[in-house]
Structure 1
Amino acid sequence: MESKQPILTKRDYFITSIRSYLLQSAFNYTAYQGVSYLNVIFPALRKIYHNDQAKLKEVATANLEFYNTNPHMVPFVTNMQLAMYDNGQDVTTARSIKMAMMGPLAGVGDSIAQFGLAPLFSTIFAGLALDGLGFAPMGYWFAMILSLLVLRLSMGTLGYRLGTSAIQSLSDQIGRVSEAASIVGVTVIAGLATLFVKAKIALEYTTILDTGEKQVVAFQTILDKIMPNLLPVLVTILVYYLLKKRNWNTYQLLFLLFGIGIAASSLGILQ
Protein backbone atom coordinates (compact mmCIF):
# COMPACT_ATOMS: atom_id res chain seq x y z
CA MET A 1 0.00 0.00 0.00
CA GLU A 2 1.25 3.47 -0.87
CA SER A 3 2.20 5.80 1.95
CA LYS A 4 0.05 8.85 2.72
CA GLN A 5 0.48 12.14 4.50
CA PRO A 6 0.82 11.44 8.26
CA ILE A 7 -1.99 12.69 10.49
CA LEU A 8 -0.67 11.93 13.97
CA THR A 9 1.63 14.34 15.77
CA LYS A 10 4.30 13.74 18.39
CA ARG A 11 1.71 14.71 20.99
CA ASP A 12 -0.52 11.83 19.88
CA TYR A 13 2.33 9.37 20.28
CA PHE A 14 3.14 10.83 23.71
CA ILE A 15 -0.48 10.44 24.83
CA THR A 16 -0.52 6.85 23.57
CA SER A 17 2.63 6.14 25.60
CA ILE A 18 0.95 7.52 28.74
CA ARG A 19 -2.22 5.53 28.01
CA SER A 20 -0.12 2.36 28.14
CA TYR A 21 -0.68 2.50 31.92
CA LEU A 22 -4.20 1.26 31.13
CA LEU A 23 -2.86 -1.94 29.55
CA GLN A 24 -3.74 -4.15 32.53
CA SER A 25 -7.11 -2.51 33.21
CA ALA A 26 -9.22 -5.04 31.27
CA PHE A 27 -7.05 -8.15 31.57
CA ASN A 28 -8.97 -11.38 30.97
CA TYR A 29 -8.12 -14.99 30.19
CA THR A 30 -9.57 -14.88 26.68
CA ALA A 31 -7.61 -12.00 25.14
CA TYR A 32 -5.24 -11.23 28.04
CA GLN A 33 -4.18 -7.61 27.28
CA GLY A 34 -6.03 -7.50 23.96
CA VAL A 35 -9.01 -5.38 25.03
CA SER A 36 -6.83 -2.87 26.85
CA TYR A 37 -4.35 -2.76 23.97
CA LEU A 38 -7.12 -1.55 21.68
CA ASN A 39 -8.17 0.96 24.34
CA VAL A 40 -4.62 2.33 24.47
CA ILE A 41 -4.40 3.04 20.73
CA PHE A 42 -8.06 3.77 19.99
CA PRO A 43 -7.95 7.61 20.24
CA ALA A 44 -5.07 7.66 17.75
CA LEU A 45 -6.87 5.21 15.46
CA ARG A 46 -9.99 7.36 15.57
CA LYS A 47 -7.90 10.36 14.51
CA ILE A 48 -6.27 8.46 11.64
CA TYR A 49 -9.52 7.05 10.26
CA HIS A 50 -11.90 9.88 11.20
CA ASN A 51 -13.22 9.98 7.62
CA ASP A 52 -13.49 6.22 7.16
CA GLN A 53 -15.60 4.52 9.82
CA ALA A 54 -15.53 1.17 8.02
CA LYS A 55 -11.72 1.15 8.05
CA LEU A 56 -11.69 2.21 11.71
CA LYS A 57 -13.93 -0.74 12.55
CA GLU A 58 -11.69 -3.12 10.58
CA VAL A 59 -8.49 -1.95 12.27
CA ALA A 60 -10.09 -1.89 15.74
CA THR A 61 -11.44 -5.42 15.31
CA ALA A 62 -8.04 -6.64 14.11
CA ASN A 63 -6.44 -5.34 17.33
CA LEU A 64 -9.12 -6.83 19.59
CA GLU A 65 -7.22 -10.10 19.91
CA PHE A 66 -4.92 -11.99 22.24
CA TYR A 67 -1.87 -10.00 23.29
CA ASN A 68 0.52 -10.34 26.19
CA THR A 69 3.79 -8.50 26.65
CA ASN A 70 5.58 -6.44 29.27
CA PRO A 71 3.51 -3.30 30.04
CA HIS A 72 6.58 -1.07 30.23
CA MET A 73 7.66 -1.99 26.69
CA VAL A 74 4.26 -1.77 25.02
CA PRO A 75 4.66 1.92 23.93
CA PHE A 76 7.36 0.73 21.54
CA VAL A 77 4.85 -1.60 19.89
CA THR A 78 1.88 0.77 19.89
CA ASN A 79 3.78 3.73 18.48
CA MET A 80 5.45 1.70 15.77
CA GLN A 81 2.11 0.17 14.80
CA LEU A 82 0.39 3.56 14.76
CA ALA A 83 3.17 4.95 12.58
CA MET A 84 2.52 2.14 10.12
CA TYR A 85 -1.23 2.81 10.07
CA ASP A 86 -0.62 6.54 9.75
CA ASN A 87 1.58 5.94 6.72
CA GLY A 88 -1.03 3.82 4.97
CA GLN A 89 0.26 0.31 5.67
CA ASP A 90 -2.31 -2.47 5.67
CA VAL A 91 -3.69 -4.25 8.73
CA THR A 92 -1.97 -7.58 8.04
CA THR A 93 1.49 -6.05 7.76
CA ALA A 94 1.13 -4.05 10.98
CA ARG A 95 -0.26 -7.08 12.82
CA SER A 96 2.66 -9.29 11.78
CA ILE A 97 5.21 -6.90 13.25
CA LYS A 98 3.08 -6.31 16.36
CA MET A 99 2.80 -10.04 17.11
CA ALA A 100 6.46 -10.73 16.32
CA MET A 101 7.62 -8.21 18.94
CA MET A 102 5.30 -9.51 21.67
CA GLY A 103 7.54 -12.31 22.95
CA PRO A 104 11.00 -10.70 22.69
CA LEU A 105 9.88 -7.42 24.30
CA ALA A 106 8.20 -9.34 27.14
CA GLY A 107 11.54 -10.93 28.01
CA VAL A 108 13.46 -7.67 27.71
CA GLY A 109 10.94 -5.70 29.76
CA ASP A 110 10.76 -8.30 32.53
CA SER A 111 14.56 -8.38 32.73
CA ILE A 112 14.85 -4.60 33.00
CA ALA A 113 11.99 -4.00 35.44
CA GLN A 114 12.03 -7.09 37.66
CA PHE A 115 15.66 -8.19 37.52
CA GLY A 116 17.35 -4.85 36.90
CA LEU A 117 15.65 -1.80 38.37
CA ALA A 118 13.81 -3.45 41.26
CA PRO A 119 16.87 -5.22 42.76
CA LEU A 120 19.02 -2.13 42.19
CA PHE A 121 16.73 0.33 43.96
CA SER A 122 15.72 -2.13 46.68
CA THR A 123 19.39 -2.65 47.54
CA ILE A 124 20.08 1.09 47.64
CA PHE A 125 17.05 2.11 49.67
CA ALA A 126 17.15 -0.92 51.96
CA GLY A 127 20.64 0.15 52.95
CA LEU A 128 19.41 3.68 53.57
CA ALA A 129 16.52 2.34 55.67
CA LEU A 130 18.94 0.30 57.80
CA ASP A 131 20.88 3.51 58.40
CA GLY A 132 17.73 5.04 59.89
CA LEU A 133 16.65 7.29 56.99
CA GLY A 134 12.85 7.45 57.17
CA PHE A 135 12.30 8.51 53.55
CA ALA A 136 13.90 5.31 52.21
CA PRO A 137 10.65 3.31 51.62
CA MET A 138 9.01 6.22 49.80
CA GLY A 139 12.27 6.87 47.99
CA TYR A 140 12.19 3.35 46.57
CA TRP A 141 8.59 3.86 45.48
CA PHE A 142 9.31 7.17 43.72
CA ALA A 143 12.49 5.83 42.12
CA MET A 144 10.61 2.89 40.59
CA ILE A 145 7.75 5.07 39.36
CA LEU A 146 10.04 7.64 37.74
CA SER A 147 12.41 5.10 36.19
CA LEU A 148 9.55 3.06 34.71
CA LEU A 149 7.93 6.25 33.40
CA VAL A 150 11.19 7.19 31.68
CA LEU A 151 11.39 3.66 30.28
CA ARG A 152 7.86 3.86 28.84
CA LEU A 153 8.40 7.27 27.28
CA SER A 154 11.76 6.22 25.87
CA MET A 155 10.25 3.11 24.33
CA GLY A 156 7.41 5.18 22.90
CA THR A 157 9.82 7.67 21.34
CA LEU A 158 11.99 4.90 19.94
CA GLY A 159 8.98 3.12 18.47
CA TYR A 160 7.73 6.34 16.85
CA ARG A 161 11.12 7.23 15.37
CA LEU A 162 11.89 3.72 14.21
CA GLY A 163 8.40 3.30 12.78
CA THR A 164 8.35 6.52 10.77
CA SER A 165 11.94 6.32 9.53
CA ALA A 166 11.74 2.62 8.68
CA ILE A 167 8.47 3.00 6.80
CA GLN A 168 9.71 5.96 4.80
CA SER A 169 12.95 4.19 3.82
CA LEU A 170 11.50 0.68 3.40
CA SER A 171 8.12 1.46 1.89
CA ASP A 172 8.83 -0.78 -1.11
CA GLN A 173 10.13 -3.62 1.05
CA ILE A 174 7.66 -3.51 3.94
CA GLY A 175 6.14 -6.80 2.76
CA ARG A 176 9.47 -8.55 3.25
CA VAL A 177 9.82 -6.98 6.69
CA SER A 178 6.36 -8.26 7.58
CA GLU A 179 7.21 -11.75 6.34
CA ALA A 180 10.43 -11.78 8.34
CA ALA A 181 8.54 -10.65 11.43
CA SER A 182 6.04 -13.47 10.95
CA ILE A 183 8.86 -16.01 10.71
CA VAL A 184 10.40 -14.69 13.93
CA GLY A 185 7.03 -14.90 15.68
CA VAL A 186 6.40 -18.48 14.55
CA THR A 187 9.91 -19.50 15.59
CA VAL A 188 9.43 -18.05 19.09
CA ILE A 189 6.05 -19.74 19.54
CA ALA A 190 7.43 -23.08 18.31
CA GLY A 191 10.29 -22.87 20.80
CA LEU A 192 7.94 -21.99 23.66
CA ALA A 193 5.64 -24.90 22.75
CA THR A 194 8.40 -27.46 23.24
CA LEU A 195 9.50 -25.88 26.54
CA PHE A 196 6.24 -25.10 28.30
CA VAL A 197 3.72 -27.63 26.96
CA LYS A 198 4.06 -30.74 29.13
CA ALA A 199 2.73 -34.03 27.75
CA LYS A 200 4.41 -37.37 28.39
CA ILE A 201 3.23 -40.94 27.85
CA ALA A 202 3.16 -42.97 31.07
CA LEU A 203 2.74 -46.39 29.40
CA GLU A 204 5.60 -48.84 29.61
CA TYR A 205 6.25 -52.54 29.11
CA THR A 206 8.65 -55.15 30.49
CA THR A 207 11.02 -57.30 28.42
CA ILE A 208 13.17 -60.23 29.45
CA LEU A 209 16.84 -59.90 28.56
CA ASP A 210 19.04 -62.82 27.50
CA THR A 211 20.52 -62.77 30.98
CA GLY A 212 17.07 -63.39 32.42
CA GLU A 213 16.78 -59.93 33.90
CA LYS A 214 13.67 -57.82 33.44
CA GLN A 215 13.97 -54.48 31.72
CA VAL A 216 11.25 -51.82 31.83
CA VAL A 217 10.91 -49.86 28.59
CA ALA A 218 8.91 -46.61 28.57
CA PHE A 219 7.00 -45.65 25.43
CA GLN A 220 8.01 -42.03 26.02
CA THR A 221 11.70 -42.99 25.79
CA ILE A 222 11.11 -44.69 22.46
CA LEU A 223 9.07 -41.76 21.18
CA ASP A 224 11.79 -39.28 22.18
CA LYS A 225 14.33 -41.24 20.16
CA ILE A 226 12.08 -41.13 17.09
CA MET A 227 10.86 -37.53 17.40
CA PRO A 228 11.52 -35.55 20.62
CA ASN A 229 8.69 -33.34 21.93
CA LEU A 230 6.17 -34.82 19.51
CA LEU A 231 3.27 -34.79 22.00
CA PRO A 232 3.71 -31.10 22.96
CA VAL A 233 3.73 -30.21 19.27
CA LEU A 234 0.55 -32.23 18.65
CA VAL A 235 -1.18 -30.54 21.59
CA THR A 236 -0.15 -27.13 20.26
CA ILE A 237 -1.48 -27.99 16.79
CA LEU A 238 -4.77 -29.17 18.30
CA VAL A 239 -5.18 -25.94 20.28
CA TYR A 240 -4.32 -23.85 17.20
CA TYR A 241 -6.86 -25.78 15.11
CA LEU A 242 -9.62 -25.32 17.65
CA LEU A 243 -8.84 -21.60 17.99
CA LYS A 244 -8.55 -20.75 14.30
CA LYS A 245 -10.88 -23.22 12.62
CA ARG A 246 -13.53 -23.90 15.26
CA ASN A 247 -13.45 -20.50 16.99
CA TRP A 248 -13.10 -21.98 20.47
CA ASN A 249 -12.40 -19.59 23.32
CA THR A 250 -9.85 -19.92 26.11
CA TYR A 251 -12.31 -21.34 28.63
CA GLN A 252 -13.43 -24.12 26.27
CA LEU A 253 -9.81 -25.04 25.64
CA LEU A 254 -9.04 -25.07 29.36
CA PHE A 255 -11.96 -27.41 30.10
CA LEU A 256 -10.90 -29.70 27.24
CA LEU A 257 -7.24 -29.84 28.28
CA PHE A 258 -8.11 -30.31 31.94
CA GLY A 259 -10.53 -33.11 31.00
CA ILE A 260 -8.01 -34.88 28.78
CA GLY A 261 -5.25 -34.49 31.37
CA ILE A 262 -7.33 -35.80 34.29
CA ALA A 263 -8.81 -38.70 32.31
CA ALA A 264 -5.53 -39.77 30.73
CA SER A 265 -3.68 -39.46 34.04
CA SER A 266 -6.33 -41.53 35.85
CA LEU A 267 -6.08 -44.26 33.22
CA GLY A 268 -2.30 -44.26 33.38
CA ILE A 269 -1.88 -43.07 29.81
CA LEU A 270 -0.22 -39.73 30.50
CA GLN A 271 1.92 -38.49 33.34
Structure 2
Amino acid sequence: MTKLEKKELNKLNRSSFYRSLTLSGSWNYINAQGNAMAYTLFPALKRIYKDKPQELKEAMKRNMAYFNISPPFSTFLAGVTTSMEEENAADSSFDAASINAVKASLMGPLAGIGDSLFWGTFRIITTGIGISLAEQGNVLGPILFLVLFNLTYMVPRFYGFKFGYNVGAQFIQKAYQNGLINIITKAATILGLIMVGGMISSTVSISTNLAFTVSGTEYKIQEILDQIFKGMLPMIATLACFALVRKKVSANKIIIGILVLSMLLAAVGFI
Protein backbone atom coordinates (compact mmCIF):
# COMPACT_ATOMS: atom_id res chain seq x y z
CA MET A 1 0.00 0.00 0.00
CA THR A 2 1.47 3.40 -1.03
CA LYS A 3 1.60 5.68 1.97
CA LEU A 4 1.22 9.44 1.76
CA GLU A 5 4.40 11.43 2.08
CA LYS A 6 4.57 14.05 4.82
CA LYS A 7 4.16 17.00 2.44
CA GLU A 8 1.17 15.43 0.70
CA LEU A 9 -0.39 14.37 3.99
CA ASN A 10 -0.14 17.95 5.31
CA LYS A 11 -1.76 19.22 2.12
CA LEU A 12 -4.65 16.78 2.41
CA ASN A 13 -4.96 17.61 6.11
CA ARG A 14 -5.50 21.29 5.30
CA SER A 15 -7.88 20.46 2.46
CA SER A 16 -9.89 18.16 4.73
CA PHE A 17 -10.19 20.90 7.35
CA TYR A 18 -11.46 23.57 4.93
CA ARG A 19 -13.83 21.23 3.13
CA SER A 20 -15.26 19.91 6.42
CA LEU A 21 -16.64 23.41 7.06
CA THR A 22 -19.46 22.52 4.64
CA LEU A 23 -20.81 19.76 6.93
CA SER A 24 -23.64 21.73 8.53
CA GLY A 25 -24.45 23.87 5.49
CA SER A 26 -25.13 20.86 3.27
CA TRP A 27 -27.05 18.77 5.83
CA ASN A 28 -30.18 17.10 4.43
CA TYR A 29 -32.79 14.54 5.43
CA ILE A 30 -31.53 11.79 3.11
CA ASN A 31 -27.87 11.32 4.01
CA ALA A 32 -27.35 14.12 6.58
CA GLN A 33 -23.66 15.11 6.19
CA GLY A 34 -22.93 12.45 3.56
CA ASN A 35 -22.51 14.88 0.65
CA ALA A 36 -20.07 17.03 2.63
CA MET A 37 -18.12 13.95 3.73
CA ALA A 38 -17.65 12.89 0.11
CA TYR A 39 -16.62 16.45 -0.75
CA THR A 40 -14.12 16.42 2.13
CA LEU A 41 -12.63 13.14 0.95
CA PHE A 42 -12.53 13.98 -2.76
CA PRO A 43 -8.88 15.22 -2.95
CA ALA A 44 -7.67 12.10 -1.14
CA LEU A 45 -9.85 9.76 -3.21
CA LYS A 46 -8.70 11.45 -6.41
CA ARG A 47 -5.11 10.76 -5.40
CA ILE A 48 -5.80 7.15 -4.39
CA TYR A 49 -7.80 6.23 -7.50
CA LYS A 50 -5.68 8.17 -9.98
CA ASP A 51 -6.33 6.97 -13.55
CA LYS A 52 -9.16 4.76 -12.24
CA PRO A 53 -12.31 6.83 -12.96
CA GLN A 54 -14.76 3.98 -12.33
CA GLU A 55 -13.25 3.12 -8.94
CA LEU A 56 -13.18 6.82 -8.04
CA LYS A 57 -16.87 7.06 -8.93
CA GLU A 58 -17.66 4.04 -6.75
CA ALA A 59 -15.62 5.47 -3.87
CA MET A 60 -17.42 8.82 -4.07
CA LYS A 61 -20.79 7.09 -4.15
CA ARG A 62 -19.75 4.89 -1.21
CA ASN A 63 -18.74 7.90 0.87
CA MET A 64 -21.99 9.77 0.17
CA ALA A 65 -23.82 7.27 2.40
CA TYR A 66 -25.61 8.52 5.51
CA PHE A 67 -23.15 10.25 7.81
CA ASN A 68 -23.77 12.35 10.91
CA ILE A 69 -21.17 13.33 13.49
CA SER A 70 -20.04 16.18 15.70
CA PRO A 71 -18.09 18.36 13.19
CA PRO A 72 -14.77 18.53 15.14
CA PHE A 73 -14.41 14.75 14.81
CA SER A 74 -15.37 14.61 11.12
CA THR A 75 -11.81 15.03 9.85
CA PHE A 76 -10.61 12.20 12.10
CA LEU A 77 -13.02 9.80 10.40
CA ALA A 78 -12.02 11.28 7.03
CA GLY A 79 -8.44 10.27 7.84
CA VAL A 80 -9.47 6.76 8.91
CA THR A 81 -11.56 6.41 5.75
CA THR A 82 -8.65 7.53 3.58
CA SER A 83 -6.37 4.84 5.01
CA MET A 84 -9.07 2.22 4.38
CA GLU A 85 -9.62 3.45 0.82
CA GLU A 86 -5.89 3.11 0.23
CA GLU A 87 -6.04 -0.48 1.41
CA ASN A 88 -9.04 -1.10 -0.83
CA ALA A 89 -7.17 0.26 -3.85
CA ALA A 90 -4.08 -1.84 -3.12
CA ASP A 91 -5.73 -5.15 -2.11
CA SER A 92 -8.31 -6.73 -4.40
CA SER A 93 -9.51 -9.00 -1.56
CA PHE A 94 -10.35 -6.00 0.65
CA ASP A 95 -14.05 -5.80 1.57
CA ALA A 96 -15.12 -2.30 0.51
CA ALA A 97 -18.29 -2.63 2.63
CA SER A 98 -16.12 -2.53 5.74
CA ILE A 99 -15.30 1.15 5.04
CA ASN A 100 -18.84 2.35 5.69
CA ALA A 101 -19.25 -0.24 8.43
CA VAL A 102 -16.32 1.24 10.38
CA LYS A 103 -17.59 4.78 9.76
CA ALA A 104 -21.05 3.81 11.00
CA SER A 105 -19.68 2.13 14.11
CA LEU A 106 -17.54 5.13 15.05
CA MET A 107 -19.72 8.08 14.11
CA GLY A 108 -22.40 7.37 16.72
CA PRO A 109 -20.12 7.27 19.78
CA LEU A 110 -17.98 10.15 18.46
CA ALA A 111 -21.11 12.24 17.81
CA GLY A 112 -22.26 11.71 21.41
CA ILE A 113 -18.83 12.46 22.86
CA GLY A 114 -18.35 15.50 20.62
CA ASP A 115 -21.73 17.07 21.36
CA SER A 116 -21.36 16.65 25.12
CA LEU A 117 -17.72 17.74 25.11
CA PHE A 118 -17.82 20.75 22.78
CA TRP A 119 -21.40 21.98 23.13
CA GLY A 120 -22.17 20.80 26.64
CA THR A 121 -18.80 21.47 28.32
CA PHE A 122 -16.34 23.72 26.45
CA ARG A 123 -19.05 26.07 25.20
CA ILE A 124 -20.43 26.54 28.72
CA ILE A 125 -16.99 27.10 30.25
CA THR A 126 -15.87 29.61 27.61
CA THR A 127 -19.24 31.37 27.74
CA GLY A 128 -18.86 31.76 31.50
CA ILE A 129 -15.42 33.30 31.06
CA GLY A 130 -16.72 35.71 28.42
CA ILE A 131 -19.80 36.70 30.42
CA SER A 132 -17.75 37.38 33.57
CA LEU A 133 -15.68 39.93 31.64
CA ALA A 134 -18.65 41.37 29.74
CA GLU A 135 -20.51 42.03 33.00
CA GLN A 136 -17.62 44.27 34.03
CA GLY A 137 -17.99 46.24 30.80
CA ASN A 138 -14.88 44.68 29.28
CA VAL A 139 -15.12 44.48 25.49
CA LEU A 140 -12.77 41.49 25.55
CA GLY A 141 -15.58 39.34 27.01
CA PRO A 142 -17.26 38.29 23.72
CA ILE A 143 -13.94 38.30 21.87
CA LEU A 144 -12.32 36.00 24.42
CA PHE A 145 -15.32 33.66 24.26
CA LEU A 146 -15.06 33.37 20.47
CA VAL A 147 -11.30 32.82 20.59
CA LEU A 148 -11.35 30.22 23.38
CA PHE A 149 -14.34 28.27 22.08
CA ASN A 150 -13.06 28.16 18.52
CA LEU A 151 -9.66 26.98 19.74
CA THR A 152 -11.29 23.98 21.42
CA TYR A 153 -13.60 23.47 18.43
CA MET A 154 -11.16 23.94 15.54
CA VAL A 155 -7.88 22.46 16.80
CA PRO A 156 -9.07 18.81 16.81
CA ARG A 157 -10.83 19.50 13.53
CA PHE A 158 -7.62 20.80 11.94
CA TYR A 159 -5.34 17.96 13.07
CA GLY A 160 -7.97 15.23 12.92
CA PHE A 161 -7.28 14.03 9.38
CA LYS A 162 -3.59 13.42 9.96
CA PHE A 163 -4.22 11.66 13.27
CA GLY A 164 -7.03 9.52 11.84
CA TYR A 165 -4.95 8.59 8.81
CA ASN A 166 -1.98 7.42 10.89
CA VAL A 167 -4.12 5.58 13.44
CA GLY A 168 -6.34 4.13 10.74
CA ALA A 169 -3.48 2.67 8.73
CA GLN A 170 -2.10 0.82 11.76
CA PHE A 171 -5.57 -0.29 12.81
CA ILE A 172 -6.50 -1.71 9.40
CA GLN A 173 -3.23 -3.63 9.11
CA LYS A 174 -3.63 -5.26 12.53
CA ALA A 175 -7.37 -5.83 12.05
CA TYR A 176 -6.82 -7.80 8.88
CA GLN A 177 -4.00 -9.82 10.37
CA ASN A 178 -6.12 -11.12 13.25
CA GLY A 179 -9.48 -11.22 11.44
CA LEU A 180 -10.93 -8.43 13.55
CA ILE A 181 -12.19 -6.48 10.54
CA ASN A 182 -14.86 -9.11 9.77
CA ILE A 183 -16.08 -9.02 13.36
CA ILE A 184 -16.21 -5.21 13.31
CA THR A 185 -18.11 -5.18 10.03
CA LYS A 186 -20.76 -7.58 11.36
CA ALA A 187 -21.00 -5.77 14.71
CA ALA A 188 -21.29 -2.39 12.98
CA THR A 189 -24.15 -3.67 10.81
CA ILE A 190 -26.02 -4.89 13.89
CA LEU A 191 -25.33 -1.62 15.73
CA GLY A 192 -26.55 0.36 12.74
CA LEU A 193 -29.83 -1.54 12.66
CA ILE A 194 -30.30 -1.01 16.40
CA MET A 195 -29.66 2.73 16.01
CA VAL A 196 -32.13 3.00 13.13
CA GLY A 197 -34.76 1.12 15.13
CA GLY A 198 -34.24 3.39 18.13
CA MET A 199 -34.38 6.48 15.93
CA ILE A 200 -37.68 5.38 14.37
CA SER A 201 -39.19 4.71 17.79
CA SER A 202 -38.13 8.08 19.22
CA THR A 203 -38.65 10.42 16.25
CA VAL A 204 -41.53 8.97 14.18
CA SER A 205 -44.91 9.27 15.88
CA ILE A 206 -48.04 7.96 14.15
CA SER A 207 -51.23 6.73 15.79
CA THR A 208 -54.79 6.13 14.61
CA ASN A 209 -58.04 7.31 16.18
CA LEU A 210 -60.12 4.59 14.54
CA ALA A 211 -62.30 2.44 16.80
CA PHE A 212 -65.22 0.06 16.47
CA THR A 213 -67.87 -1.21 18.86
CA VAL A 214 -68.90 -4.85 19.34
CA SER A 215 -71.74 -5.73 21.75
CA GLY A 216 -71.46 -2.37 23.44
CA THR A 217 -67.69 -2.63 23.94
CA GLU A 218 -65.45 -0.15 22.18
CA TYR A 219 -62.23 -1.44 20.66
CA LYS A 220 -59.53 1.06 19.68
CA ILE A 221 -57.45 0.06 16.66
CA GLN A 222 -54.31 1.65 18.06
CA GLU A 223 -54.46 -0.38 21.28
CA ILE A 224 -54.89 -3.57 19.25
CA LEU A 225 -51.93 -2.69 17.03
CA ASP A 226 -49.77 -1.95 20.08
CA GLN A 227 -50.55 -5.37 21.49
CA ILE A 228 -49.54 -7.02 18.21
CA PHE A 229 -46.43 -4.92 17.48
CA LYS A 230 -45.74 -1.66 19.30
CA GLY A 231 -44.71 1.03 16.85
CA MET A 232 -46.13 -0.81 13.86
CA LEU A 233 -47.45 2.30 12.07
CA PRO A 234 -44.19 4.31 12.45
CA MET A 235 -42.24 1.31 11.16
CA ILE A 236 -44.53 0.89 8.14
CA ALA A 237 -44.29 4.60 7.34
CA THR A 238 -40.48 4.54 7.64
CA LEU A 239 -40.12 1.46 5.45
CA ALA A 240 -42.43 3.04 2.85
CA CYS A 241 -40.25 6.17 2.74
CA PHE A 242 -37.13 4.01 2.53
CA ALA A 243 -38.61 2.10 -0.41
CA LEU A 244 -39.33 5.40 -2.19
CA VAL A 245 -35.77 6.60 -1.57
CA ARG A 246 -34.39 3.37 -3.07
CA LYS A 247 -36.56 3.99 -6.13
CA LYS A 248 -34.84 7.38 -6.52
CA VAL A 249 -37.87 9.44 -5.50
CA SER A 250 -36.63 12.89 -4.44
CA ALA A 251 -36.77 13.92 -0.79
CA ASN A 252 -38.92 16.96 -1.61
CA LYS A 253 -41.57 14.77 -3.27
CA ILE A 254 -41.58 12.41 -0.27
CA ILE A 255 -41.99 15.30 2.19
CA ILE A 256 -44.82 16.85 0.15
CA GLY A 257 -46.46 13.43 -0.14
CA ILE A 258 -46.29 12.98 3.64
CA LEU A 259 -47.90 16.39 4.20
CA VAL A 260 -50.72 15.71 1.72
CA LEU A 261 -51.35 12.19 3.03
CA SER A 262 -51.36 13.45 6.64
CA MET A 263 -54.01 16.07 5.85
CA LEU A 264 -56.18 13.51 4.02
CA LEU A 265 -55.92 10.97 6.85
CA ALA A 266 -56.70 13.67 9.42
CA ALA A 267 -59.71 14.81 7.38
CA VAL A 268 -61.23 11.31 7.39
CA GLY A 269 -60.46 10.84 11.09
CA PHE A 270 -57.80 8.16 10.69
CA ILE A 271 -55.23 10.13 12.68
Q: Give the TM-score, by structure 1 length.
A: 0.85
Q: Is the 8 A contact 1:17 1:75 kept in 2?
A: yes
Structure 1 pair 189–80 and aligned structure 2 pair: CA distance change class (3 A): same
Q: In the alignment, which residue of structure 1 is the partner of 2:223?
A: 221
Q: Deviations over 1:55-103 (max 9, x none)?
A: 1122122223443332222112211111101223443221222233343
Q: In the alignment, which residue of structure 2 is the partner of 1:21?
A: 21
Which structure is higher in helix share?
Answer: 2
Q: Is the 8 A contact 2:101 2:184 kept in 1?
A: no
Structure 1 pair 24–120 and aligned structure 2 pair: CA distance change class (3 A): same
Q: Deviations over 1:1-59 (max 9, x none)?
A: xxx23246442552254132232344455544333222211111111112322211221
Residue aligned with 1:133, SS: coil
Q: In the alignment, which residue of structure 2 is the partner of 1:241?
A: 243
- Structure 1 segments of 4+ aligned residues over 6 angstroms from their partners: none
The Cα of 1:261 is off from its aligned counterpart by 1.4
Q: Calculate the aligned-residue CA RMSD, in Å.
A: 2.4
Alignment gaps of 5+ in structure 1: 210-214
Structure 1 pair 183–92 and aligned structure 2 pair: CA distance change class (3 A): same
The residue correspondences of 1:51-66 to structure 2 (distance < 5 A) are 51-66=51-66
Q: Deviations over 1:174-222 (max 9, x none)?
A: 233222212211111111111111111111245677xxxxx65432122
Q: Which moved more, 1:175-184 or 1:149-158?
A: 149-158
Q: Is the 8 A contact 1:7 1:47 kept in 2?
A: no
Q: Give the TM-score, by structure 2 length.
A: 0.85
Alignment gaps of 5+ in structure 2: 89-93
CA distance in 1, matches of 2:215, 2:190: 48
CA distance in 2, matches of 1:228, 1:31: 27
How many equivalent pairs are there? Answer: 261
Q: In the alignment, which residue of structure 2 is the partner of 1:5?
A: 2
CA distance in 2, matches of 1:27, 1:169: 34
Residue aligned with 2:138, SS: coil
Percent of aligned positions that are identical:
25
Q: Which moved more, 1:256-265 or 1:60-69?
A: 60-69
CA distance in 1, matches of 2:78, 2:212: 54
The AA in structure 1 aligned to 2:234 is P
The AA in structure 1 aligned to 2:132 is G
Q: In the alignment, which residue of structure 2 is the partner of 1:212?
A: none
Q: In the alignment, which residue of structure 1 is the partner of 2:96?
A: 91
Q: Which moved more, 1:33-42 or 1:18-27?
A: 18-27
